[in-house]
Structure 1
Amino acid sequence: MRGLSLLFFLLISLALLLPAPAAADLLITPKRLVLDSQSRDGIFRLVNTSDRAQSYELVWQQLRMNEMGTLDDMGENAAGAASRLLLLAPTRVTLQPGERQTVRLTPRLPEGLPEGEYMSHLLFRPVTPPPPPSSVTGQGAEMQLAVRVGFSIPVFLRHGNLSAQAAIRPIGIDANGVTVEMRREGTASIFGNLSMFWGQPGRDGLQVGRLDSVAIYANLTQRTVTVPFDPASGVTVGAGLLMVRYTDPDSNAVLAESTVRLE
């Protein structure tokens, strides 16, 4: 039993330390797809960036965000799924090294569909045999560990006149960063980048931290995130003014901001 426990520990440690080479095998754009009822099609563009052929099957997932920002699997019968309103083609791709491919999603909205935001995640799951696995040997037993990485991209379909607003406020600070409470109002998800600036009253603030691609999905009214301090800023945050700003990732428009005085 001790030998098995040690082997299990080694396997977990190795899994945490191994690089994920497949993470660089497939380039997907965009990283989030938002469609509305007037959209003709949504398109993902794929590029095989590896040096060997890669095959992927495209599978729908029904994931929902919780207040900690992690995603829970709600199962295939989840309410509000966009997958039931979209025609996906193709559902499997094989790409040679450097080859490009488009994946098309076409809305198919039934009459009488209630207004709202519908959401699913599209998983690009590798079906190509993985590279030779790493081996872990202990006390005469050998186990092999192979790493496969899939890519899950959120897809939103908005039907009707939807909107969303955000509010933020810092609620805690320590040596590592600032904890920010985020609130969302409205009928749609909201996405943005969080930036932190620190300085003295009457002076321009210096950017001391940033966290990109922070979302509050429509199933949530609030969530809490921690924005880490950036050591590269060379700034030691102390007494002064700390401003946290939430901006649109495309237009850089300010969605919400809050300033607190540090003593």
Structure 2
Amino acid sequence: MYLIYNDKMYLAGLRPLIVFLFLTLFAPLIFCTGVEAGIMLHPTRIFLDNRNNSGTVMVINQENVPVKYRVSTTLYRTKPNGALEEILDLTQEQQELKRMLRFSPRQATLGPREKQTIRLQFRKIPDFSDGEYRVHLKVSPLPEDDSNARKADNTKLGVQINLLVGFSIPIVIRNGNLWVEAEPVACERTVSKLTGKPVLSVGVLQKGTRSAVVNITAYHILEKNSEAKVLLGKVPGAVVYPDVSLKTFDVPLDETLLDRIDKGFIRIELSDSEEKNTREGKNNVQYKSREF
């Protein structure tokens, strides 16, 4: 079973007979511990283009036991609600895209708390169409040897559950002279569904042929167009892909400044979050600010 959330994939290997019971009773624990334990990938997103066609991903074993894992690639389509759905019926162009992204190793074993580097390289074929493409690099832990599983103490629980948690990260590939514009179009004070703390819900609209990668910074100002501003909160590295166009981000608020929000205005500023040497076409990037 594959569960997709926030550009990451969670792979759960469960016995079919106990899937429903386990998810019903212990689902909250899966999502709390899956990020803290098992395998972690860094960075969580990589951009490649014609000048920078290679990169690395660090695989980190956070467990105190060895972990064997397999590396593969897959493609996802973005559904209207923002969720990712794996594309199973690949077109010829999509199959070629996967073949153009090379990586090594494809399988490895990490000792307790060890790290491993996965090397990536994008080799463009002739007449490759301009545009931005996404291939997800998927790292999937493999089941432990049955002999090890038998050593577990099964006197406390009649049925053993082997939960494997894996991740996938997007590899963003840009080809050609692409452009992007982005601007904040909505801002509302609300409460985070995840933390229960006050946030600014900021809608960012993207236009163009490539993704917008921005820092979202919220300031309080007493008068419009004022240069005097007080920092309220910030979200670094927010990404809006071309196939989504409009995306909402929660900007955490400094709770000591909440009284200020009821007076004056809020200025949302978007700034470039990518390093100059990680992409092409810097002059084709325009990020705007707006006051609410």
Whole-Å separation in 1 of the counterparts to 2:113 and 2:138? 21
**Local SS of the residue matching 2:177:** coil
TM-score of the two chains, using structure 2 as the length reference: 0.70
Determine if contact 2:240/2:247 at 8 Å carries over to the other structure. no
How much does 1:212 deviate? 4.0
1:32 corresponds to = 45
The count of aligned residue pairs is 249
2:10 corresponds to = none
| Equivalent in 59, 70, 82 of residue 72 of structure 2 | 59
| Equivalent in 170, 188, 201 of residue 179 of structure 1 | 201
2:281 corresponds to = none
Point out where structure 1 has 5 or more consecutive residues left out of the alignment.
1-6
1:171-210 alignment, distance < 5 Å: 171-174=187-190, 176-201=198-223, 202=226, 204-210=228-234
Equivalent pairs: percent with the same residue? 22
1:4 corresponds to = none
1:111 corresponds to = 126
Whole-Å separation in 2 of the counterparts to 1:34 and 1:251? 11
How much does 1:250 deviate? 4.2
Whole-Å separation in 2 of the counterparts to 1:91 and 1:76? 23
Give the aligned CA root-mean-square deviation in angstroms. 3.5
How much does 1:85 deviate? 1.5
| Equivalent in 155, 159, 167 of residue 171 of structure 2 | 155
How much does 1:31 deviate? 1.6
Determine if contact 2:53/2:123 at 8 Å carries over to the other structure. no
**Local SS of the residue matching 1:235:** helix
2:194 corresponds to = none
Determine if contact 1:194/1:211 at 8 Å carries over to the other structure. yes
2:26 corresponds to = 14
Single out whichever of 36-45 and 115-124 deviates more from structure 2. 36-45
Single out whichever of 198-207 and 155-164 deviates more from structure 2. 198-207
Determine if contact 2:183/2:205 at 8 Å carries over to the other structure. yes
